[in-house]
Structure 1
Amino acid sequence: MLANPVSKPRTKPPGERRDELMTAAERLFLEKGVEQTTIEEITTGAGVAKGTFYLHFSSKADVLQALRSRFVQAVLDGIVATVGRCRQEDWRGKLAAWSTACATGYLDAAGLHHLAFVAAPPATREGLSRNILIDHLSELIADGAGEGAWSADDPGFTAVFLFNALHGIVNQPGIAETPSARAGLLGAIEAHFLRALGLWSGID
């Protein structure tokens, strides 16, 4: 009877290893700050050798940029899932869902957002005029206008305007410290989104 072959050690896919490094870095950056965190601490936190870091990133700044991208993608994923639960013809519901999901995504990860987009090195100004969230909102506004749900002469302009209004509100310190304050904030943001497209908000 042939002996069982020696099992080879299983290695994780590169994408999973990269994600683990990012998660370890995020935790350490939030706890200690970017400058105070060492690459060795990141690799220790991810349970890998120090050399593995350089297979995925060139520096801590590179990790920070990756965290920015992951944050925005996570917010978009939440928006897509929430809007996707609305009926196809419910454009008012889709717009309201977009505003709530986007604001919630920022509020739920306020610490990471501040770290990735406010702390040094700062994000570029272009991020507030062109990003995947604005693109998605612009497409939603254009599609709704095409179906006669509202009028929007320039969906792109409207999307930038609404996104920046939302972005400015949710990033105020202590803006939603209690559940009731959060609920009130989300309701107010939703109302302004609806009014901007000429829809009744339900709030006098």
Structure 2
Amino acid sequence: MVPPMPTDPVAKPRTKPAEERRDELMRSAERLFLEKGLEQTTIEEITAGAGVAKGTFYLQFSSKADILQALRARFVQGVLDGIVAAVEGRTGQDWRGKLAAWSTACASGYLDAAGLHHLAFVAEPPATREGLSRNILIDHLSELLTAGASGDAWSVDDPGFTAVFLFNALHGVINQPVDETPAGRAELLRKIEAHFLRTLGLASGID
């Protein structure tokens, strides 16, 4: 008599976790939106690109606009993750270095995903402009400005206002046509950093 086969304790599940399905749908949508645009892309194309049934889409998203909003949120979170890593890479009291790191990481995050940013915020803009005055990037910058003021690195009367001002200055610059050669990009980042530092009354290094 042949003994029964033992159960494999590490057998892979036959269905993927919901978060993995969601990520696959978002990656498929991002690729198609960038290739074809939002209006020209169908939900069937998104699900085919993700290798899932059409019904799976509606378990995660209500519409193409809904998945685009999720892409916006993921984009901003990705930029913030890069900023946090850059700022935390500076020593505790190096406030000038932290501010310089913030400006460079934020600008780089936008430039690295320029196509998605243009699609999600310019070609298909959000319903309101609230994100230009209230978002997690501005919140993080405001916290940094507050902490630096507490550490006597600079004086700032209204960190929230200053954070909105600096973020929108950066945002406006990177929304212009930019020289994407390595030298052109380095020069742009240098200028952005210099203006951040000057706004807080710090030497820019190019003065």
Structure 1: gaps spanning 5 or more residues: none
Structure 2 residue 26 is matched with structure 1 residue 2: no
Structure 2 residue 191 is matched with structure 1 residue 185: no
Structure 2 residue 193 is matched with structure 1 residue 200: no
1:70 to 63, 67, 74: 74
Seen in structure 2, the aligned counterparts of structure 1 residues 27 and 157 have a Cα distance that, compared at 3 Å, is same
Matched residue count: 203
**AA in 1 matched with 2:181:** T
**AA in 2 matched with 1:129:** S
Following TM superposition, by how much is the alpha carbon of 1:9 offset from its aligned partner in structure 2, in angstroms? 4.7
Structure 2 residue 97 is matched with structure 1 residue 93: yes
Structure 2 residue 133 is matched with structure 1 residue 138: no
Following TM superposition, by how much is the alpha carbon of 1:5 offset from its aligned partner in structure 2, in angstroms? 4.9
1:122-148 residue CA offsets vs partner (Å, 9 max, x unmatched)? 352110000000000000000000110
TM-score by length of 1: 0.96
Tell me what 2:58 maps to.
Answer: 54
Identity of aligned residues (%): 78
Following TM superposition, by how much is the alpha carbon of 1:65 offset from its aligned partner in structure 2, in angstroms? 0.3
Seen in structure 2, the aligned counterparts of structure 1 residues 146 and 12 have a Cα distance that, compared at 3 Å, is same
Structure 2: gaps spanning 5 or more residues: none
Q: Partners in 1 of 2:166 and 2:74 — Cα distance?
A: 22
Following TM superposition, by how much is the alpha carbon of 1:177 offset from its aligned partner in structure 2, in angstroms? 1.9
Q: CA RMSD in A?
A: 1.4
Q: Partners in 2 of 1:25 and 1:52 — Cα distance?
A: 14
TM-score by length of 2: 0.94
SS in 1 for 2:119: helix
Tell me what 1:118 maps to.
Answer: 122
Seen in structure 2, the aligned counterparts of structure 1 residues 140 and 121 have a Cα distance that, compared at 3 Å, is closer
Seen in structure 2, the aligned counterparts of structure 1 residues 130 and 116 have a Cα distance that, compared at 3 Å, is same
Tell me what 1:16 maps to.
Answer: 20
1:156-183 residue CA offsets vs partner (Å, 9 max, x unmatched)? 000000000000001112x132111100
Following TM superposition, by how much is the alpha carbon of 1:119 offset from its aligned partner in structure 2, in angstroms? 1.8
| Conservation of the 8 A alpha-carbon contact between 1:128 and 1:164 | yes
Q: Partners in 1 of 2:127 and 2:200 — Cα distance?
A: 29
**AA in 1 matched with 2:77:** Q
Structure 2 residue 173 is matched with structure 1 residue 169: yes
Tell me what 2:131 maps to.
Answer: 127
